[in-house]
Chains A and B, each alone.
Chain A
Amino acid sequence: MNRFSYLRASDVGEVVSALKDAPAAKIIAGGTNLVDLMKYNVERPERLIDITHVEALQEIIEGENGSLRIGALVSNSALAYDARVTERFPLLSSALLAGATPQLRNAATVGGNINQRTRCYYFYDAGTPCNKREPGTGCPAKTGLNRIHAILGQSEACIATHPSDMCVAMAALEAVVHVTGPDGERDIPFADYHRLPGDTPQKDNTLLDGEVVTGITLPASSTQFSANYTYLKLRDRLSYAFALVSVAVALEKEGDTVKRARIALGGVAHKPWRRAEAEALFEGKAADSGLFARVADALIDGARGYEHNAFKIRMAREAIIRALEQASAGTPQSNIDKHIV
């Protein structure tokens, strides 16, 4: 861990100007990811800008027609158990509870969760090469250990995944990310927030230098998914492990037919994985197993595995089908009792 200076910011303006003054600064929220990375010498910020005392980022604000604006500092636990969230956006609550442990969720924040880094073994080990950590040094995962790596959207430069559960639900719920930077505020649709690695895997997302995430909005239109949803997470043990594959499904049903479907995958790509073509297969059709299989195939079409992760292709397909069954039947996966039915 390097030496750094520390600033406790009191408002968003102070955060933005501090970021401008010190380009090698880092925002710290819950610290559950950043501090680990500092201990491993992966992140070496000159300055830490502690945003945990910025009042404006702590709130959940009611919007129109049931939409919610969630401050970047709302903890993962507070968000998961907020009555408005469990009622209107239960998919998000479920995904949050599928992640990490109670202790971590108490500390982790919305802004930190969105911006958490990959869990690729090499990225965390400064004694090895890694294009994401040190551009140009290579990607040992491709020919090394790639069990937890991507099967979709990879590049020659990097095959890492985004590890978040929360973000998979937010992608399916079509949240909007609010950011503030030197040029003022802007909104980024969730699907455009994270990016594929391409040849700049060092960049996880489209946040620009000097910008801070102030919150996200869960849109009113996504409250329609509260009856038919599920978050199904498959992992190496029944709790406290990152997803090998996870599936967030949000359906709006009318009788047996599906009016609208949103499906996002976690653990398979550098960002929560959605495909409009796959979702469109649903529109107006009766939900049945044949359709589920076609949707699954469309969603992972073109998937490519490596020595240790090729199993994820089949696993993803099965998981999508199972999740669609759960959501369609209105029997969402419990992320408290981990038993999958």
Chain B
Amino acid sequence: MLRNERNFGSPRDRVDGRAKVTGAAQYAAEFNAPDLLHGYVVSSTIAKGRITSIDTQKALDVPGVLKVFTHDNRPATAWFSSSYQDEVAPPGTPFRPLYDEQIYYSGQPIALVVAESFDVARYAASLVEATYEAGAHETDLKLARAAAYVPPKKRQGMKPPASKGDAMAAYAKAPLRIANDYSIANEHHNPMEPHASTVIFEAGGKLTIHDKIQGVMNTQSYVSGVFGLPASDIHVVSPFVGGGFGSGLRPQYQLFLAVMAALDLKRSVRVEMTRDQMFTFTHRPETINTVLLGADKTGRLSALRHQAVAVTSRFEDYQEVVVNWSGILYDAENKQFDYRIAKVDTYTPGDMRAPGAPLGTFAIESAMDELAYAGNIDPLELRLRNYSTRDETTNKEFTSKELRACFQLGAEKFGWSRRSPAPRSMREGRELIGWGMASGCWEAQFSKTSAKAVLTSDGRLEVGTATADIGTGTYTILTQIGADALGLDMEQVTAKLADTTLPKSPVEGGSWTAASAGTAVQMACEALKKTLLQEAQKIEGSPLADAKYEDVVFANGRIAMADDAGRSLDLSDVVRHSGQSEIEEQATAQPDSKVQAQYAAYTHSAVFVEVRVDEQLGLVRIPRIVNAVAAGRIINPKTARSQVTGGTVWGIGMALHEESLTDHNLGRFMNHNLAEYHVPANADIYDIDVIFVPEEDDKVSPIGVKGLGEIGIVATPAAIANAIFHATGKRIRELPITIDKVLREAA
């Protein structure tokens, strides 16, 4: 079999681009049903305590209101909290909406008003009056950390890195020493599309659900578990997701409320969150790192200790990988790691783009930068001197690691060699210029995924799997892979996603979808091709009668002998002769357990940043960034570039802008809108140059792909903070680096 790669590796437009820009793409809140009801959520104003009474009469008196659901009158649902556990739930007791009178966090849903129109529901919701008995809350990590603990039960996938040697003793003896705290604020995901669920109540009580979710199977199993419905009665269809970033991994409370209301009222119901309610579930956890480095005079690390403490909720032990990254990036004879969480009265934090990685990387890469200055060593050179050649945290070889090439190509493109080493030594006009860099890595995961490939009698190919496209370009790359496999044009291929009737797939997250779904589609196509050849050979007088699979090619809509194009059949004829309307094959891609036992797989990046700082005014601009990424084979450089650029922009946001401001007196996030929760605006973004470093890797996945949805953000904040130090000589160890911090440090 010759490998046809007309599309794989080439920049291709998004196949769903036109539907998105013309509004044809339907999102969860855009599906309609006859007599659709609308639910509006009433949120708690206290952070802790209990509801003593809740008066819904005024709301019920509004014409058009059908029902107000509260903990007092909600229909019975599953009794055990374990039934609320979803595919990606951390250890603990999942939040159960309207379960009882207890308040666990400010903004908790306490009632759902259901009415004939959205406006009536919203108005009536403003008339619901709750009285509370408030308890004493704590939302401040600086205080809560006193009671931090090592999570007794590890979240799935959490690998505590092994410590070795005696880091403290080695540190005490080291000629070069760094020890500091590095902290990162709470952040909210804020995808453009707010969370919403449209639950269509079908005849016979079956449900069709359009949910904002990064994996329809997760919605299906959650609804099945909580409401006791057979999975076959729950059809989840969410073809488009307007950004997820992790906020859509777990089913959120609007889903529960919409399903509850639909089942109770036997009507179709939609519940949409408002923008301020987007701050009432899940967020990136505030995290404080403590890093201690000891090195000899050449910068070789002898001691590395990385500790972190992060917030979690009262009811679940959310965990993410924060400290391991430093052990993956660097070798040191003595290493110690520690990751703890501390309970506060908020909702459970959740995964947000590269969960944990930019936080731990900000810490280790800031500390390495400090070490570089302490030892008078070029920051890039210091990283090369401590370059890890195997993953010490898991004691495995890397499947591949082209970080060195990232350093080299990134530095060349950026012009790193022209950097003047001393802080405050570069200036233009009123602005100090700073050049900084950092490196990072992110797991290249592979998850069990099934897919189908169907050839119809008009010669078109349909590929499908249940995973989502959260805007990353999954539809496009699966179309490319399908087209190449069958030798068709991309226009002749349709990708189908995000429907529970499609072959099973995990949630879209962890940057595993391109590798996993891509491989599954490739395998399904291979299976389909074999079947097609068999069918072709059954045709009387088939020119391919004696052909072996290895000897044929699929091209231009035909199967042909590789060495004799004259001996060929049209694919649509093959389907027609088979007597079936279409031919379908399915396949399941699974990680190779032997490879996994021996190897660790990561994507890597090296980020180079120029900042300009007006020290008097505290203003920071970022005129250019080079982000060099090694992520295996790149299926579509165009969508891939978008992913890394987007991650880099988010890195700028994390470095300079993003912070969910908490009023600790009230225990409430207060800047809950896009005017006051700042993400970078166009004016903040100048040149971002993305480089994909060639990386061949036959172990990470059968198609050599690593995935790159997350790597873009990982090292960017650290590189920016390091550039700010180079510009100003001021080390800022708290993100975001807002104007007040630049001014404060300059004082």
Contact = CB atoms under 8 A, between A and B. Distances in A.
A145 B670 contact: yes
A128 B666 contact: yes
B621 A145 contact: no
A2 B675 CA distance: 23
Interface in B99-134: 106, 119, 122-123, 126
Contacts of A236: 657, 678, 738-739
A119 to B, nearest CB: 7
Interface string A232-271: 0010111111101000000000000000000000000000
B665 interface: yes
B672 interface: yes
B619 interface: yes
- Chain B CB within 10 A, most for which of A3, A240, A244: A240
A308 interface: yes
- Chain B CB within 10 A, most for which of A1, A2, A238, A319: A238
A127 interface: yes
Nearest to B429: A341
Given A237-B656, A240-B681, A318 B617 contact: yes
A242 B621 CA distance: 18
A119 B671 CA distance: 10
B526 interface: no
Given A2-B126, A121-B676, A145 B663 contact: yes
Contact of A322 (B43, B616, B663, B747): B616
A273 interface: no
A340 B614 contact: yes
Given A122-B670, A322-B616, A128 B45 contact: yes
Contacts of A303: none
B678 A140 contact: no
A321 B666 CA distance: 38
Given A143-B665, A144-B666, A145-B663, A124 B673 contact: yes
B657 A237 contact: yes
A62 interface: no
A315 B617 contact: yes
Contacts of B670: 121-122, 125, 128, 144-145
- Chain B CB within 10 A, most for which of A1, A39, A145, A314: A145
B306 to A, nearest CB: 30
Nearest to B430: A341
Nearest to B614: A340
B617 A234 contact: yes
A84 interface: no
B650 to A, nearest CB: 14
Contacts of B43: 127
Given A236-B657, A238-B681, A314-B747, A147 B740 contact: yes
A311 interface: yes
A205 interface: no
Contacts of B106: 127
B657 A41 contact: no
Nearest to B623: A339
A121 B672 CA distance: 8
B661 interface: yes
B740 A308 contact: yes
A338 interface: yes
A234 B619 contact: yes
Contact of B683 (A119, A127, A145, A237): A237
A41 B682 contact: no
Interface string A126-148: 01100000000000100111011
A238 B739 contact: no
A244 B741 CA distance: 14
Contact of A140 (B665, B673, B676): B665
Nearest to B736: A236
Interface string A24-56: 000000000000000111000000000000000
A237 B740 contact: no
A322 B614 CA distance: 11
A3 B429 contact: no
Contacts of B614: 340
A339 B430 CA distance: 11
Contacts of B744: 311
B254 to A, nearest CB: 18
B684 interface: yes
B672 A3 contact: no
Contact of B675 (A119, A238, A315): A119
A341 B614 CA distance: 9
Chain A contact-residue range equals 35 or more
Interface in A297-329: 308, 311, 314-315, 318-319, 321-322
Contacts of A240: 681, 683
B646 interface: no
B739 A1 contact: no
B618 interface: yes
Contacts of A244: 739
A150 to B, nearest CB: 15
Contacts of A143: 665
B617 A237 contact: no
A239 B743 CA distance: 20
B579 to A, nearest CB: 58
Contacts of B678: 236-237, 241
Interface in B678-708: 678, 680-684
B668 interface: yes
B107 to A, nearest CB: 8
A315 B126 contact: no
A39 B661 CA distance: 22
Contact of A319 (B617, B661, B663, B665): B617
A335 B126 CA distance: 40
B682 A239 contact: yes
Contact of B618 (A145, A315, A321): A315
Contacts of A322: 616-617
B59 to A, nearest CB: 12
A298 B184 CA distance: 38
A311 B430 CA distance: 20
Nearest to A325: B430
A114 B276 CA distance: 26
A237 B743 contact: no
Given A1-B119, A125-B670, A147-B661, A315 B682 contact: no
Contacts of B680: 237
A238 B683 contact: yes
Nearest to A127: B45
A40 B274 CA distance: 10
A79 B426 CA distance: 41
Contacts of A3: 123
Nearest to B656: A237
B666 A140 contact: yes
A197 B119 CA distance: 34
A98 to B, nearest CB: 11
A121 B656 CA distance: 20
B743 A315 contact: yes
Given A143-B665, A237-B656, A318-B616, A311 B740 contact: yes
Interface in B128-150: none
B122 A238 contact: no
Contacts of B738: 236
A141 B269 CA distance: 39
B45 A314 contact: no
Contact of B123 (A2, A124, A339): A2
A270 to B, nearest CB: 19
Contacts of B676: 119, 121, 148
A128 B670 CA distance: 10
A272 B184 CA distance: 35
B123 A238 contact: no
Given A3-B123, A128-B663, A145-B661, 5 more contacts: A1-B123, A1-B126, A127-B45, A239-B682, A240-B681
10 contacts: A1-B126, A3-B123, A122-B670, A128-B668, A238-B684, A240-B683, A311-B740, A311-B743, A322-B617, A340-B619
Q: Which 7 A-B pairs have the closest CB atoms?
A: A127-B45, A239-B683, A238-B683, A311-B740, A121-B670, A144-B663, A239-B681
